[in-house]
Each structure stands twice: as structure tokens, then as C-alpha cells.
Structure 1
């Protein structure tokens, strides 16, 4: 009986996540709706100003306390909210969880951000393309040419396929909105205080390490999905992608990236497209050299943005479908078990 209830709950959660994906694809993140990540960011910012002081050891302890408080608090508050709404009416809890789940996904937002760069770039409006790119990257964009505008966009799409889509999708499928939101709290902490500079090296240490752990498996599963989608696109989609040797090349390139996870999807996309990502960026005029990923068989151009977005959509869809198939197989095993 417990196994039947567990299987039913898993199928219900999978269906709910599928509906949340549909909501995100249709409406994305409307600015008139309050977004949980914005609230997390305000909380983190306020307490960072209060707690990020003292000796390096004190800063590391304070940062650890903030990480536990934010991640644990987000999980508990969202869980309690759903429990209270369910007590009032199950429909209220369903609506709330669908909305909360949809806020953890950035499928539409990531695609729209890439198109916001690609559309003016296609018209030769480099100023507008640079401005759009500047909305999604931290590097200087005012003097970038087509190749570097494309590179910045492709890198953003590749990296955020994990932390904006497949990672929250995995946690949503495992634990519903509370666990998906807890993951977003980890990701938000890392994006705000997980820097290796004088201000955050100690305070953000625990946040950065926790983000590395949370993204380790999703990053590598996403690479496999990207590769398989690249293979399918090459066979059935009339798109020339370099899927042969891409897995081996990704394993060689990814460890050179400063992030233990971000380099994996970036390296795979670079290998599939036959381009080279990474290299020189400037931040407030200061040069920063990143290890290069992939081989420059082709010069980066507008079409690579479109293909990267197609790879992104194919990867998250395959990621979700594989989970559904796996859960169906597990459910079948339980049903035939004596």
C-alpha cells in the first residue's frame, strides 16, 4: 500500500512539474508578479551588509550561518505555506505550488534573452545587440564585435541551461516546490556572495561550495542530454553539429574552466558547434583571461545563437522525458513485485 501511495505521489508531482513547465513557456516571469528570487536577494543583501565583517574566520562562520538560514528558511517557509493553503483548500495549494515551481524555471526567459541579442544582431544593429547582451552578462560589452557578442550569448545559454533549467527541474521532480526553491536559494547566494575576491572569498565560501555540490550532477547529466540532442539534430534536423568526439573533448576542456560545473555545458556546446568559447573578457576595463573551450573550426556568428537555443530546448526536454521514462520503469517494477 505504501508503495502504491509513493508511486501515485511521484506521478502527481511529475504531472505538476509538467504543468509548471507549460506555465513558464507561456508566461515566463511577468514583472507584475512578485518573484521569490527577488525576495531572497533582498534578504541576502540586507544580512550581507550586517554580517560580512570581522576576521576571515568570523566572516566564514557568518557566511555559513547565512547560507543555512536562507536555504533552510526558504524550504521551511514554502513547505509551511503549501501545508496551510492545503488546509484551507487543496486547489489553493495546487495553484500556489504550480506558480512557485514555474518561478524556479527560466526556459522562456533564457530563450527570450538570447533572441533579444540575436534580433538586432541580424539587422546589423550592434549597439542594440551589445546593450541586450549587457543585460545578461557581467562583462564589458560596449566594443564587442559580432563574434564576441555571439560568444557571450552562447556561453550564457549553455551555462544557464543547467542552473536556470535542468538543475531546478531535477530538484522540483525530487521534492516539489520547496526543494526547487531551496536550490534557487543556493544559486542566488552563489551569484551574490560566491565570488573569489577580497570582500566575498571568506563570507561566500560555504555558499559557493554548496552551489558546486548542488550543480555537480545536473551539469553532467545535462552534458549527456546536449550530446544526444546534438546527435539527433545532426541526423534528423539537417544541422551540421560535431557530435563525434564531443564527449571526449568536453571531458578534456571542462576541467580548465574556473567553475567545476559551468565548464561542462559550455564545453559541450562549443564542441557541438565547432567553435571556441572562453578567452579574453573585460570587467570594468580590467582584462580577464578564461581558458578556451572547444576548437575554432568555425568563426562565431549569429547562427550559432539560434543553434545553441535549439540545443538548450532539446536538452531540457530530453532531461524531463528521461526522468518520466525512468519513473515509469520504477513504477512498473513495484507493480509486478510480489
Structure 2
């Protein structure tokens, strides 16, 4: 049985570590290991299953089962072994595992790299910086396009990198959090609707959509609430955030991605999304938000402020939920 107060302490300490450390380059992140494992399995599955539509669909299911199963066994096994050695060691490792599931500080750090290059009017450097955090082609982006891409990834990943991991950690601790992270990593690697991954990546993409369904919507409503809070120079507009969310939350191929993106667009009173280039092909996409004012580079730090507000409120909700569950 889960000790809810201990789990809350683990999650809070992990969250605070992320706030302080972020994702330093010297620290090997387990996601890289999961990514290597996914690539290894992909090669084997393609070799064994072949390239037929049904074969690749079946191979995609096998990929999901192996990656999630291995992640559960490895993370659970590590915590079990640590617990056999010392409860204190298990607690410490649990904190580290939770810390590495959060992406608040890294989202801010990486997007602010884009901001700093834009402030210097160095468009090539800004394009390179934003290419590190988005999946689209960036060589055609102008200053506004780079800014929009940075704001969009902060908005979208407030759900994927904060709300969803926190949601699953709250329910089932670090192990369930890492199972979610493994699915999300698979989706980012093979969940594309192109010739290479249309069938092989379908199971991972559908499972990622399912796992993000509740967290994305919860995060969106929390972000709306955060937009209503007082802000310097009235940076955020809560009522418009709610209006655009209700209108544009499905203006994306994914059922979840536009949930928080629409809130951010409405809160900042700008228009996001629209057509984008992926792997050399122009993809037609709907706009999100109204073009009430021009997008400006200061929207990047504003999006980060919204990210931090939302993250702290979500952490507060986690504390309430764990406390209530502990009393039941």
C-alpha cells in the first residue's frame, strides 16, 4: 500500500529539485536510455515483422508492450532493490526519479535561449535554439515564426512535461510516472503520420493520446485560473483565455495539444499555430487564438511565467489530493 504522505514528500522534493537544477547536460537523463531502447527495438521489429501495413501495426503494439513493460520492471526493480538495502535509499532514489520526470526549469531554460538570441537579432542562432525544442523544420522561420514556435512548445509541454507526469505520479508514484514518460517518449520518436511511422507508431500515438486526455484538460483549466490571477502590466487575460480555449481547443490534429496552447494564445491575446513545415513538407494547420496584437519576443518570458504559475498550482492540487487520499 502506498504511503501517501511519503509519496507527497517525494513528489514535492522532486519538483523543487527541478526548479533548482533543471536538466543539466552533465547529468545523464533516463529518457535518453529509453530513446536508445526504442531505436533498438524498432530495428528488430522492422526486421522481424517486415514492412506490411498489418505487420507494422502489430509491431507497433509489440513496441509499446516491450517499452512500457521494461520501464515498469526496471523502475520498480530499482526501487525494490533500494528498499531492501535501506528505506532512506529508496526514498532518495524515488525523489531523483520524480525530479527527472519534471520539465519546468528545462522548458524555461531552453525557450529563454531562443529569447536571448532573438534579443540579439541573431535569427540563425534563434532558429537553431528553437530547433532543439520543436519537431518542425525551422530554417524557413522568421523572427515571428521562431517566437511563436517557442511559445507554442512551452504551452503544449506545460501539459506533457508537468501536468501529465505529476498526474501519474500522484496516482501511482514514480513507476507509473515513468511508464507515462516512456509512452510520451515513444510518441515523440515514432508517433508521426508519415510514410515511415504511420503504422508502426500508431499504437504509441493512440496510447499517448489516451494517457494525456485527462491531464491536458486539467492543465488547461488550471492555466485559465492562473491567467485570472493579478499580473504585472495585465500580461494575462483570463476571460479571453477561457473564450479561446472553449473555441479552439480542438484546432490541432492531436486531441490534446491545443488544449493548453489555446489557453496560452487567449491569455496572451495572440494567434498561434497555422501552417508549418515538417520533414520538408508543408502541413496545413488551423490557427489558434485571435490576432489581437502582433506576436513579440516578450511573449516567450510571458509564456514561461504562465508555465510557472500553472506548475505551482498543479503542485498544490497534488498536495491536496494526496492529503485527502491519506485520510481515506
Q: What is the TM-score of this pair, normalised by structure 2?
A: 0.94
CA RMSD of aligned residues (A): 1.6
State which structure, 1 or 2, has the greater radius of gyration over its C-alpha atoms. 1
CA contact 2:5–2:326 (8 Å) conserved in 1:
no
Query: In the alignment, which residue of structure 2 is the partner of 1:257?
Result: 252
Q: Deviations over 1:263-300 (max 9, x none)?
A: 11111100111111111222344322211000000100
**Residue 290 of structure 1 aligns to a residue in which SS?**
coil
Q: Please, which of 322, 325, 330 is the counterpart of residue 320 of structure 2?
A: 325
Match of 2:202 in 1: 205
SS in structure 2 opposite 1:302? coil
Alignment of 1:100-139 (within 5 A): 100-139=97-136
Deviation at 1:10, TM superposition (A): 0.9
The residue number in structure 1 matching 2:157 is 160
Q: Which of residues 70, 86, 91 is equivalent to 1:89?
A: 86
- Structure 1 counterpart SS, 2:197: coil
Task: Say whether residues 1:310 and 2:305 are aligned partners.
Answer: yes
The answer to whether 1:33 aligns with 2:27 is yes
Greater Cα offset, 236-245 or 301-310: 236-245
Does the aligned pair in 1 maintain the 2:4–2:323 contact within 8 Å?
Answer: no
- Asked if the contact 2:240/2:267 (under 8 Å) is kept, the reply is no
Where does structure 1 differ by over 4 angstroms across 4 or more consecutive aligned residues? Answer: 329-332
Task: Give the drift of 1:25.
Answer: 1.6
CA distance in 2, matches of 1:278, 1:26: 31
Structure 2 Cα separation of the partners of residues 259 and 50 of structure 1: 28
Cα distance in 1, alignment partners of residues 292 and 216 from structure 2? 25
- In 2, distance between residues paired with 1:210 and 1:316? 24
- What SS is found at the alignment partner of 2:284? strand
Give the deviation of 1:323 after TM superposition. Answer: 2.3
Unaligned 5+ segments in structure 1 are none
Alignment match, 1:20: 14
Tell me what 1:44 maps to. Answer: 38
- Cα separation, 1, equivalents of 2:138 and 2:116: 17
Whole-Å Cα distance in 1 between the matches of residues 215 and 62 of structure 2? 26
Residue number in structure 2 paired with 1:292: 287
**SS of match in other structure, 1:287:** strand
Partner in structure 2 of residue 180 of structure 1: 177
Between 1:160-169 and 1:116-125, the stretch displaced more is 116-125
1:266 aligns to 2:261 (yes or no): yes
- SS of corresponding position for 1:153: helix
- SS in structure 2 opposite 1:105? coil
DSSP-derived class of the 1:282 partner: strand
- 246-255 or 206-215, which deviates more: 246-255
Spell out, residue by residue over 1:104-136, the C-alpha distance to the aligned partner (whole angstroms, 9 max, x if none).
Answer: 111111000111011121222222212211111
* Residue matched to 1:282: 277
**Offset of residue 245 of structure 1:** 4.0
Stretch moving more, 162-171 or 278-287: 278-287
The aligned length equals 325
Farther-moved stretch of structure 1 (23-32 vs 11-20): 23-32
* Aligned mates of 2:71, 2:78 — CA distance in 1: 11
Deviations 1:279-329 (A, max 9, x none): 122234432221100000010001111110000011111011022123434
CA deviation string 1:206-257 (max 9, x = no partner): 111100011000100000111111100xx35442323214323212212121
Q: Is the 8 Å Cα contact of residues 83 and 89 (structure 2) preserved in structure 1?
A: yes
Query: Following TM superposition, by how much is the alpha carbon of 1:157 offset from its aligned partner in structure 2, in angstroms?
Result: 0.3
Uncovered stretches (5+) of structure 2, i.e. residues with no partner: none
TM-score (ref. length: structure 1) = 0.91
Q: Per-residue displacement from partner, 1:2-34 (whole Å, max 9, x unpaired)?
A: xxx76xx11110111010111112222233333
- Displacement of 1:173 in angstroms is 1.7
